[in-house]
Amino acid sequence: MLESIKLDYPPYFIILCLLLGLLVAFVLYGRNKQWSEIPSWSKALMFILRTLGVASIAFLLLGPVVLRLLERSEEAIIVIAQDQSASLNEALGNEACATINEQINDLESQLSANFTVERFGFGTDIHVEEDSTLDQSTNISAALKYIDEQCADKNIGAVIMATDGIFNEGRNPLYENVSFNAPLYTVALGDTTIKRDLLVKNVLFNKVAYLGDETEIQVDVQAFNSRAEQTSLKLYETVGDKQNLIEETRISINADPFFISKTYTVKPSRSGNVKYTVRLSGLSDELSSKNNVRNIYMDVIDARQKILLLADAPHPDLSAIKQSLEQNKNYELSIQYATDKPINTNQVNLVIFHNLPSSNWDIKEELDALNRQRTPRLFFLGSNTNYTSFNSLDQGVSVSGFNQSMNVVEPKLNSQFNAFKLSDKVKQLTASFPPIQSPFGEFNLATDSKILARQTVSSIETNYPLVLFNERKNIRKAVVLGEGIWKWRLFDFLTNDNHEGFDELLQKIVQYTSIKEDKRQFRANLNESDLKVGEALLFDAQLYNELYQSVNDADVSMKVSNSKGQDYDFQFSKFNDYYVLDAGSLPEGSYNFEAKTNYNGKALSDKGSFTIKSIQKESYNLTADHGLLHELSSKYNGEFVTPGNLTNIVEKIRSSNQVKPIIYTEKDNQSILNFWWLMIPILLMLFLEWFLRRYSGNY
């Protein structure tokens, strides 16, 4: 419908267009004597045609816009959300579920005659396309949120949700904050009868444990309609195909419903993904036996660091260091003397040198081995240290002018040090530490060294370093320029009746020194190390050249192995400057992977592990919650119905005043040039003028 024509110019421009047409017509026909012999009516007609034609073209050049009002009708949409979780199938069986699906199909068919119907399934995820897969969990709140987000700008007439009311993921749907105004009709599926069943309700445990440490596993057992029955609860550790029984508990069911928690203490004896199985002996005629078993996977970390304490000779400091580090269960320390040849530095995470190198032992052979392995090291320097040899080791500090004399110094923490933090308790304790002996001489500090503590000599604070750190060629080093730290540990005990302050100080020095930066040329990573059955395994890998630039010139392969010895081989794809791999999904279990490549003649590899867990949430509660459905319907001004009364929903929706089309009025702006048919009268006027001129014998 045409409303008006709009110009971007003032209205008097229309008069100017008309005047332009009159001017052109007057110049052509006004006083030109060649038109004196033709009839006056013909001359007047040609004058008018030329005026209107030129004026129309000039008007079109002004770019007029046509304003129109358009009406659009949007039919009401009926949303059908259907539960596609495994709990329905397990509780009712395949035949009953097929009947329910036919009823929902018939409901959709009846509503489609009058309305637009949008249907989707929900469970763990939202299924817009038709999918017969049964999800292993139910998230009703996600379904409500999906409707709210996807249909916010649509004319939603009603929402029909067919479900058993059981949810085991997401928020309680009653508290989900959605704003659609359509009534919600809940179709009650499932069975509300509490049937005879015994199940492992829940297993609580630490997903990460340390090798050799004790950790607890709490098992919650629940039973329904099983009073006076006996069952056995067993905890197994799975190794390969074998299940080793850890502990068994007899349980007498003396109530209905029945609930009990049992706690087991385990001490993992191997690292990696350790599988434990909790199993209940079943009862006769119980609803489901699937929920009698629960598998859990514990990531057992061997975080112990092997530390070698290598000394020139026995010293009280050695005992203080050993006792302090052994307080940390992740440190495994051994003491050797330079006389204990040969000294094996393989598989050592940190080497602590005390009064080495000395005049008797230059430790060159050991340091060469540590440099090849890029092993961190910590030096405690004292009166027996050979400082000439030490200065040649490039440890971030050198001592010149040493004449076998020692200074008595106290520690002063550097307030600018920020590589790690010490507790206020340690800071206060350090300020009171008794003096130790430090070499007397000149200290030459490397510019990249970090000072944790400086020396205080005779109550005078100096810039001489006492404890410092340095890193060269990706090897972290620490130096304590003094001996006698056993006094600090003893002072801590005398002051606080424990060694916690000294232990924290030494352990943080050791921890910071022993950390290695990851400078591997090749790495392979999994997007998630804790996956569920059906989830895709997405790997990526990075390969670096000698300048540590990411490249993908070489091919990368990978082998995945499970605990049963089965192998799966894959090949990475190249993408940009790295590698990607979608390995699909694998069955439940613990897996190890090893990715390999060959770059510039050098074999490179990286290893890792992951766990794939089964999802059994749908087996732990098979009793429908129709009370929840009643509350949902009431909250959203709908109704609660059973599958046998679906016809009532159709009738109510058809008769509802809310479920009506919405008519929208929209403004449409278009250039008048888009209306091509307006050119026809202009062309006809110009053609008629031309014809009359030819007819009169003029051009």
Helices (H), 270-386: 316-325, 364-373
Q: Higher model confidence: residue 24 or residue 325?
A: 325
Q: What pLDDT is recorded for position 618?
A: 56
pLDDT at 610 over 90: no
Q: What is the mean pLDDT of the chain?
A: 85
Would you state the structure tokens that stand for residue 229, as one six-digit string?
């029955």
Q: What is the DSSP string of 190-240?
A: S------EEEEEEEEE-SEEETT--EEEEEEEEEES-TT-EEEEEEEEEET
Q: What is the pLDDT of residues 327-381, one digit of tens each?
A: 887 888 999 998 887 788 888 999 999 999 998 888 888 888 888 888 999 999 9
Task: Please say whether the beta carbons of 322 and 310 come within 8 A.
Answer: no
Tell which residue, 219, 275, 274, 277, has the closest CA to residue 251.
Answer: 219
Domains and CATH numbers, the chain: 2-70+669-695 (no CATH), 76-193+623-655 (3.40.50.410), 197-301 (2.60.40.10), 305-514 (3.40.50.880), 522-613 (2.60.40.1930)
- Range of weakest confidence among 111-115, 260-264, 416-420, 478-482: 111-115
In the structure, what pLDDT confidence band is assigned to residue 398 with cuts at 50, 70 and 90?
Answer: very high
Q: What pLDDT is recorded for position 1?
A: 42
pLDDT at 621 over 80: no
pLDDT at 313 over 70: yes
Tell which residue, 582, 283, 146, 109, has the closest CA to residue 101.
Answer: 109
Which DSSP symbol is given to 358? Answer: B
Q: What pLDDT is recorded for position 417?
A: 93
| Mean pLDDT of all residues in 163-167 | 85
pLDDT at 202 over 90: no
3-state helix, strand, coil in the chain (%, to 5): 30, 35, 35
Q: What pLDDT is recorded for position 99?
A: 86
Q: What is the pLDDT of residues 631-653, one digit of tens each?
A: 998 888 888 988 888 888 888 88
Q: What pLDDT is recorded for position 71?
A: 67
pLDDT at 517 over 70: no
Listed in sequence order, the residues at least 6 apart from 314 whose beta carbon sits closer than 8 Å to its beta carbon are 337
Angle, vertex CA 100, rays to CA 99 and CA 103, nearest 5: 90
Q: What pLDDT is recorded for position 2?
A: 46
Q: What pLDDT is recorded for position 343?
A: 81
